[in-house]
Amino acid sequence: MAGFSELIKSFDKTRDYVRDFFIYGCKVRNDFNAKSSRTYDDEKRRVESWLGDYIHTDNSQRGKKVCISVDSGHISENPLYKAYYSKSFTDNDIKLHFLLIDILADGESLTLKELVNRLADDYGEIFDEQTVRNKLKEYSEEGVFIKEKQGKTDYFSLSPDTAESFFGEYDGLDNAVKFASEAGIFGVIGNSLLKASDLKNDIVLNKHNYIVHTLEDEILLDIVIAIEEKRFISYESFGREKNGELPEFSGVPFRILSSMQTGRRYLAMYNRKYNRFNSVRLDSIKAVRIGEVCHEYDELFEMYIKNEHKCFGVSFGRRTELGHVEPIKLTIYADEQKENFIINRLEREKRCGTVEKVAENTFTFTADVFDPNEIMHWAKSFIGRIISVEGGNEEIRSKFYNDIERMNRMYCDEKKK
């Protein structure tokens, strides 16, 4: 495997592989649409190298199977964060990183020329000005260096904010970051802060932990900037190649919607072409480009919020017009004396619906939603108690009744036992 490197230049291809290894856990080389088996081998070796403890290989009949199996409710650190810590760099990058910080560590403020001279005088390293200028620009944008103009000349000094200083000065911050690095939004950033201070999470675990979500954090950073600045975005989707190219879609982003039940995350946006709101799965988005400012953003957002209240999950329905809802009613049996936990479940999980007691031990859940089909996955978690399903549409009702027939044959057929 000559030329193999465990570091990578861009994240998107690896992101796709890691996700497949993790989610499916049953793919072999031939299942991946790689350009070559070499690509598969390299990606597999990288994933094995980053996630060693969690990788399981198994020689199934179809070839060697690779999967990542993690009991993610009981781990102290998301192992997929390691994928973010594998960016490739040049020898000059790492040299300049340590040497420039070392020169400025005494608190001096120096010019580009002075820094180039100090690199040569103090460490015997000869760099051309352009290379050092690029690094200074990059690190000033990252907040590592502070750039100040004196007359016509730029002076560079080191930011005083070390990671250790935050944890040292603010009691309890370490535990808060340990929590947020696993359960919070963009947890990988918190994890990088902990790592910079040699700290490890030893306090919080995260139930219903979809560790794979972190693979979307890179594109998510672009999306939150677009939302913050009220801009259009365009994006490419994975796996929908046409004539060898990925199609590009565009819209106005409003919110990231997630389901803790299904583990899916979506970008809710306005699609100008079809004049409707829709939700796009985040894991289907390969890359995002931030576009122009949307001047009608506030009006669209107001309309979006009105519509969002009619989503049980994330779906705005199939229709092209805005605002069409379908009522649905479930009637549920619960023994009021012994099964208060069922009534509590209905109350806390009803979302935009309404729960009412209609008779002794009988409760209804009603909702006006764009896509009543979304309710049915949740409704089936009450199997054993559903007295009737009304409203929605014929397709949904007959699917439910057929499903129960099939499940009855599946589980209760004497011959099958």
Q: Does 2 bind other proteins (CB under 8 A)?
A: no
Angstrom distance (rounded) from CA 406 to CA 380: 13
Span interacting with other proteins, options 4-12, 35-43, 148-156, 353-361, rule CB under 8 A: 4-12
Q: Does 330 bind other proteins (CB under 8 A)?
A: no
Strand (E) or helix (H) holding 400: helix 394-412
Give the residues across from 54 on adjacent strands.
none
Angstrom distance (rounded) from CA 179 to CA 380: 33
Strand (E) or helix (H) holding 12: helix 12-23
Q: Does 239 bind other proteins (CB under 8 A)?
A: no
CA-closest candidate to residue 140, choices 190, 100, 187: 100
Exactly one of 34, 110, 132, 158 binds other proteins (CB under 8 A); which one? 158
Dihedrals phi, psi of 208, to nearest 5 degrees:
50, 50
CA-closest candidate to residue 102, choices 80, 125, 79, 75: 125
Residues 177-206 that bind other proteins (CB under 8 A): 177, 179-180, 183-186, 188-190, 192-193, 195-197, 203-206
User: Taking every pair of C-alpha atoms in the chain, what is the biggest distance, in angstroms?
Assistant: 91
Residue placing its CB nearer to other proteins in the complex, 34 or 378: 378
Q: Does 133 bind other proteins (CB under 8 A)?
A: no
Residues 241-280 that bind other proteins (CB under 8 A): 255-264
Residues 92-121 that bind other proteins (CB under 8 A): 93-95, 97-99, 101-102, 105-106
| Structural Rg of the chain based on CA atoms | 27
Q: Does 338 bind other proteins (CB under 8 A)?
A: no
Which structure tokens are listed for 241?
């190649």
Give DSSP secondary structure letters for 299-357. Answer: HHHHHHHHHHTT-SSS---S-SSS---EEEEEEEE--TTT-HHHHHHHHHH-TTSEEEE
Which CA distances in Å does 251 have to 10, 12, 333, 355? 25, 21, 44, 36
Span interacting with other proteins, options 34-42, 127-135, 212-220, 236-244, rule CB under 8 A: 212-220
**Contacts with other proteins: how many residues (CB under 8 A)?**
143
Shortest reach from residue 180's CB to other proteins, in Å: 5
Shortest reach from residue 371's CB to other proteins, in Å: 12
Exactly one of 245, 412, 414, 415 binds other proteins (CB under 8 A); which one? 412
Shortest reach from residue 322's CB to other proteins, in Å: 19
Residues 11-30 that bind other proteins (CB under 8 A): 11, 22-26
Shortest reach from residue 64's CB to other proteins, in Å: 14
Exactly one of 107, 130, 149, 171 binds other proteins (CB under 8 A); which one? 171
Angstrom distance (rounded) from CA 8 to CA 39: 12
Span interacting with other proteins, options 214-222, 234-242, 270-278, 354-362, rule CB under 8 A: 214-222
Exactly one of 123, 248, 299, 393 binds other proteins (CB under 8 A); which one? 123
Angstrom distance (rounded) from CA 273 to CA 249: 10
- Pair 157, 139: CB distance under 8 Å: no
Q: Does 329 bind other proteins (CB under 8 A)?
A: no
Q: Does 168 bind other proteins (CB under 8 A)?
A: no
Nearest 5°: CA angle at 13, between 18 and 250?
Answer: 115
Residues 59-98 that bind other proteins (CB under 8 A): 60, 62, 67, 69-74, 82, 84-89, 91, 93-95, 97-98
Secondary structure letter of residue 245 according to DSSP: B
Give the residues across from 249 on adjacent strands.
235
Q: Does 166 bind other proteins (CB under 8 A)?
A: yes
Q: Does 302 bind other proteins (CB under 8 A)?
A: no
Please list, residue by residue across 238-248, b when 16 or more beta carbons sit within 10 angstroms of its beta carbon and e when fewer do. Answer: beeeeeeeeee
Q: Does 381 bind other proteins (CB under 8 A)?
A: yes
Exactly one of 39, 109, 159, 366 binds other proteins (CB under 8 A); which one? 159
Span interacting with other proteins, options 138-146, 147-155, 235-243, 362-370, rule CB under 8 A: 138-146
Span interacting with other proteins, options 56-64, 243-251, 318-326, 362-370, rule CB under 8 A: 56-64
